[in-house]
Amino acid sequence: MNEPVSGCDIRGEPQKEWVAEEFSSLYNEHSRAIYYLTLRYLGDPQKAEDATHDVFLKAFRKLDQFRGEASFRTWLYRIAINHCQNLNNAWQERHIYSGVDDSVWENAAAKTDSPLRVLETKELGQRIQKALDGLPEEYRLLLLLVADAELSYEEVAELVGQSADAVRGKLHRARKTFAALFEKNG
């Protein structure tokens, strides 16, 4: 007779406590990355808190659909991106979005790759958020994903549904625009 898999009952079904324990390990490992993405992508701590909860709950419900072809973090990011985009789309349907100030684009084109200087770290989060809020959603997402050192360009490209070369090109423009907005808000 076959031995049951560790954490499964005699029918091979996972035991609830065991699944919950493994899931809490996964939460501990990835919650900061997911919370940070939702926080800076949505720009609202309360929305980010709700979104992070919803993303992990969706992941818990769909654990059996995770096939292990991508990393668990990539899989979570996919759920988080879809969730945030749905929230943003719903919001934009109710509001008129003015977009980025044209002067920022003009300045961005002339920007060099000089370092970003921070004199006061106290208000840094707000300054970063303002700069991210001024970016087109596509650029904001790219920067946030590339900032996660655990993701390769290929994984980022897959998450945003583009080629790695397209990601590199857009990332270049995203960096310049972010730098211009960051300096402007300094």
Partner 1 sequence: MKNHNKLSHQQKEQEELAAQQSQIPSGKEFSSPEELLRFDAAQTSVPPSIAERLQNSSATVPPPSSPPWWKRMFGG
For position 98 contacting partner 1 by CB under 8 A, the verdict is no
Q: Which of 1, 90, 121, 161 binds partner 1 (CB under 8 A)?
A: 121
Give the phi and the psi of residue 14 in degrees, each rounded to 5: -70, 140
Based on the shown chain and the rule CB under 8 A, indicate whether residue 182 belongs to the binding site for partner 1.
Answer: yes
152: tokens are 């390769």
**Contact assessment for residue 24 and residue 59, using Cβ atoms and an 8 Å cutoff:** no
| Residue choice 89, 106, 109, 147 for contact with partner 1 (CB under 8 A) | 147
Region label for 151, one of left (φ > 0), alpha (ψ between -120 and 50) or beta (otherwise): beta
Q: Is 138 an interacting residue with respect to partner 1 (CB under 8 A)?
A: no
Question: What is the CB-side half-sphere exposure of residue 155 using CA atoms within 13 A?
Answer: 19
Q: Which amino acid is at 81?
A: I
Residue 89 three-state SS: helix
Per CB under 8 A, 118 contacts partner 1: yes
Q: Using the rule CB under 8 A, is 109 a contact of partner 1? A: no
131: its two tokens: 């700069």
State yes or no: residue 144 binds partner 1 (CB under 8 A): yes
Site for partner 1, rule CB under 8 A: 5-8, 13-16, 19-25, 27-28, 31-33, 35-36, 39-40, 45, 49, 52-53, 56-57, 60-64, 66-68, 115-121, 124-125, 128, 143-144, 146-149, 174-175, 178-179, 182
